[in-house]
Homo-oligomer: A and B are copies of this chain.
Amino acid sequence: MSHYHPLTEQEAIDYARRLPDVFPSNAELSSREIGDGNLNLVFHITDSVSGRSLILKQALPYAKVVGESWPLSLDRSRIESEALVVQEALCPGLVPHVYTYDTELALTVMEDLSDHVIMRRGLVEGNRYPLFAEHIGHFLAHTLFYTSDWGMNQQEKKERLGRFINPDLCKITEDLIFDDPYRDAETNNIHEPIRPDVEKLWADQELLLEVAFLREKFLTHAQALLHGDLHTGSIFVTPESTKVIDPEFAYYGPMGFDIGAVLANLLLNYCGQAGWKSDQADLESFRNYLLETVEAVWTRFEQEFRALWEEKTVDRMARTPGFLDSFLARLLQDTFGFTGAKMVRRIHGLAQVADINRIEDAGVRAVAERTALHIGTALIKHNRQAADIKEMTDLARRAVQLHS
């Protein structure tokens, strides 16, 4: 079975049975393919005798979303498993444990998290996760600090960067986030009622210039090992637990890209909630919870990152008074910009979000889309002036008022 081919469910069961020390010899294994992504097979293997379970995630050599015509390197599977190992070492408990990785099959065997729910779904259903901001702020601070030139040996960082060269998946981001949404691209998927808004955006030279600067940072600023796709569909949650999954887009890039991904997806849910909550007081309360979470994620990240830097930085020059303040000020600005870019691409780009595009009422959906485009473009244009995370939540609040 070692030559690469996409596994059948029976092959996945056979593979799982042969893993040492996982299932008892009398196990009765069953498999369910639960991949809802576009790039992978995900087999959920369970033993009805012991109750044990695990996940086999196998990379496909193409992107399903556009058929087999978009080939993708299987090396992203190695990158994902190695990123998970790095992240688990830095943040035990916040990512699924990797049992083993099979290079030939591009297959990762990992902890089953099916007692968690995908955060995007949880938020659409109106659930709150009171520990999420603390968990993800910790995750961001530790993974970004300890993989950067400030938190690890600077020569080892260069070698690690070499192991996370990820051209195929970076290309997806470069196209779908930093190019296609800003032109009349075939990949776009425009909800007709907002076409005039989208066309206005394509002509906004001030916006396009700021997007070009953000694209430049994505292409050239090798600050830290990013997750690379840290939206709420890549996060499993319960009220007590947070698990970050799917780091197949991992590469060395600008820290603000990961932070912005989290904040953007909270704000997308914020924009979409009018389609999910009919009670006005409930809607307002949940939206306040989301904006408080946006602020808390940054604040927690910033506190922990600052503390790590002050105690642990390996870079003598970076201890010069003023450097860390400048670094964090610039990081907040990057975060504003990337938050905006991550919002815009989800409104009329190829890959959209259920928080908004599953709203059945086309009018309500269009309002959510306009609100998200408003917030996204305003964050992008404001990014290099941003000085406080509250500017982001104030802007979001005003946008909802304006569009309701």
Give the B-binding residues of A (Cβ under 8 A).
Answer: 149, 154-156, 158-159, 161-162, 165-168, 170-171, 174, 178-179, 182-183, 205, 208-209, 211-213, 215-216, 219-223, 315-318, 320-323, 326-327
The listed residue with most B CB atoms (<10 A of its CB), out of A158, A161, A315, A318, is A158
Q: Are B179 and A209 in contact (CB under 8 A)?
A: no
Q: Are B182 and A158 in contact (CB under 8 A)?
A: no
Given B167, B219, B317, B322, which contacts A159 in the complex, CB threshold below 8 Å?
B167
Which residue on B lies nearest to A161, using beta carbons?
A: B165
Q: Are A149 and B213 in contact (CB under 8 A)?
A: no
CA distance A72 to B220 in the complex (A): 27
Given B212, B316, B323, which contacts A323 in the complex, CB threshold below 8 Å?
B212
**Residues of B with C-beta under 8 A to A315:** 215
Q: Are B158 and A215 in contact (CB under 8 A)?
A: no
CA distance A212 to B170 in the complex (A): 29
A205 CB to nearest chain B CB (Å): 6
**Residues of B with C-beta under 8 A to A155:** 167-168, 170-171
Given B162, B170, B183, B209, which contacts A162 in the complex, CB threshold below 8 Å?
B162
CA distance A202 to B273 in the complex (A): 56
Q: Are B219 and A220 in contact (CB under 8 A)?
A: no
Given B166, B211, B316, B321, which contacts A209 in the complex, CB threshold below 8 Å?
B321
**Residues of B with C-beta under 8 A to A158:** 165-167, 170
**Residues of B with C-beta under 8 A to A220:** 149, 221-223
The listed residue with most B CB atoms (<10 A of its CB), out of A209, A215, A317, A327, is A317
Q: Are B316 and A183 in contact (CB under 8 A)?
A: yes
